[in-house]
Amino acid sequence: MGRHAGPANRALRLHRVEYARPRRKVPTATGRRSTRRSSTPVDFEPRPAVTTTLLEPILRDDMLVVDRVLRESLASDVALIRQISEHIVGGGGKRLRPALLLLTARACGYTGKHHHTLAAVVEMIHTSTLLHDDVVEFQLIVSVDSMRALHILSDATNVIAEGEVLQLMNSGNPDVEEVAYLDVIRRKTAKLFEAAAQLGAMLAGADPAIEDALARYGAHLGTAFQLIDDVLDYSGDHDAIGKNLGDDLAEGKPTLPLIRAMQVGSAADAALIRDALERGRLDDFKPVVEVLARTDALDYAHRCAQAESAHASACLDAVVDSPARQTLLKLAAFAVERTY
């Protein structure tokens, strides 16, 4: 099959991030160290197959198989490609999206092997690394021999790409409203959660109503995770979350806490946030955090995340109880209780 064969293959090529060079740490305005591209090679530290303790007991063996699929699929004689491939398998992250696919497949009684392959594809899409001229994911999906899987993933990548574009358009724009912002994160972040959860049910041949319920579970879960990420960017611990506090502000991202603070705060509060967003000024990080505290904007965003978590849990009502279903319920709670 040619590398440009068909609209589905083209759809899978839309969502990408350049991995041309590793990054080096440089000082930021807050005294933390940020990352910028460097030509100096780096080594990625290995990680356990499952990086969220909650998932370790039930998914460790499955995740080891997913890692093997990733390594075999991304094998290359090119040193940099090998290094990036190892980053996908051994780098940071919670591995939630592939875990979600494995869990929903198990919750629906799946006993085959294709869930490992599709979980690897989901992880590759999440890392946005389309190596081997973007054909790897397509070949893996074809190996599953499911046009529905291809349709679900191609639709997801299209929606994610749209979310990326919308986020770029909103950058530095303090006039973004809450509804518009939620639309962005449902496209950019929640859509892949939704697709992962749906794929597990689809593989198991679940009833359409169950498949739909699990897809909605994934969408609500992904939204909750992103909203908590928004909160942690202004209140988390740097070492725990693995990123610099204020990164969203420095990039001019109008996230929900900022939008809420501008809605309910004073004119002076709103002006400060507007200026910080438009200029991407980390010098304003501390004053902005003070505004968020005065306006209870972080609490508001947290409550919104809790509502999404509750919706996710409710979607599981129709799923037969099992250890996998119980883990999905715990995952919904973890989404809003986490500190990283």
Q: Is 36 helix (H, G, I), strand (E, B) or coil?
A: strand
Cβ neighbours of residue 67 under 8 Å, at least 6 residues apart? 49, 89
- pLDDT digits 0-9 by tens, 245-288: 888 998 999 999 999 999 999 999 999 999 999 988 777 899 99
pLDDT (0 to 100) of residue 10: 37
Residue of 242, 246, 241, 192 lying closest to 219 (CA atoms): 192
Q: Is 136 helix (H, G, I), strand (E, B) or coil?
A: helix
CB 315 within 8 A of CB 332: no
pLDDT (0 to 100) of residue 78: 67
- What is the share, in percent, of the chain residues with pLDDT greater than 70? 73
Residue 88, token pair as written in the block: 């996908």
Q: Please, which pLDDT band fits residue 85 given cuts at 50, 70 and 90?
A: low
pLDDT (0 to 100) of residue 100: 97
9 assigned to some structural domain: no
Please indicate whether residue 66 or residue 220 has the higher confidence score (pLDDT): 220
**What are the φ/ψ torsions at residue 27 (nearest 5 degrees)?**
-65, 150
Cβ neighbours of residue 113 under 8 Å, at least 6 residues apart? none
- Domains: count for the chain: 1
What is d(CA 265, CA 279) in angstroms, rounded to the nearest whole number?
A: 20
Please indicate whether residue 72 or residue 110 has the higher confidence score (pLDDT): 110
2 assigned to some structural domain: no
Q: Please, which pLDDT band fits residue 90 given cuts at 50, 70 and 90?
A: low
Q: Is pLDDT of 5 > 60?
A: no
Beta bridge partners of 23: 37
Q: Please, which pLDDT band fits residue 244 given cuts at 50, 70 and 90?
A: confident
Q: Which range among 87-91, 117-121, 239-243, 282-286 shows the weakest confidence by mean pLDDT?
A: 239-243
What is d(CA 142, CA 299) in angstroms, rounded to the nearest whole number?
A: 45
192 assigned to some structural domain: yes
133 assigned to some structural domain: yes
Region 41-47: mean pLDDT is: 41
15 assigned to some structural domain: no
What is d(CA 103, CA 173) in angstroms, rounded to the nearest whole number?
A: 38
7 assigned to some structural domain: no
Residue of 250, 252, 259, 260 lying closest to 170 (CA atoms): 252
Q: What is the CATH number of the domain that holds 164?
A: 1.10.600.10
pLDDT (0 to 100) of residue 284: 81
Q: Which range among 99-113, 133-147, 149-163 shows the weakest confidence by mean pLDDT?
A: 133-147
40 assigned to some structural domain: no
Give 42-72 as a 3 state SS string: CCCCCCCCCCCHHHHHHHHHHHHHHHHHHHH
pLDDT (0 to 100) of residue 139: 63
Question: Domain range spanning residue 197?
Answer: 46-337
CB 155 within 8 A of CB 15: no
Q: How far is CA 137 from each of CA 14, 53, 64, 169, 314, rounded to the nearest angstrom? A: 12, 28, 19, 28, 32
Region 238-245: mean pLDDT is: 63
Q: Is pLDDT of 50 > 90?
A: no
Q: Please, which pLDDT band fits residue 79 given cuts at 50, 70 and 90?
A: confident
Q: Please, which pLDDT band fits residue 56 given cuts at 50, 70 and 90?
A: confident
- pLDDT digits 0-9 by tens, 178-232: 999 999 999 999 999 999 999 999 999 999 999 999 999 999 999 999 999 999 9
CB 234 within 8 A of CB 289: yes
Q: Is pLDDT of 34 > 50?
A: no
41 assigned to some structural domain: no
pLDDT (0 to 100) of residue 297: 98
Q: Please, which pLDDT band fits residue 310 given cuts at 50, 70 and 90?
A: very high
- What is the share, in percent, of the chain residues with pLDDT greater than 90? 56
Q: Report the mean per-residue pLDDT for the chain.
A: 81
pLDDT (0 to 100) of residue 68: 85
Report the 10 Å Cβ neighbour count for 57.
10
Q: How far is CA 288 from each of CA 229, 255, 261, 293, 302, rounded to the nearest angstrom? A: 17, 13, 9, 9, 17
- pLDDT digits 0-9 by tens, 289-299: 999 999 999 99
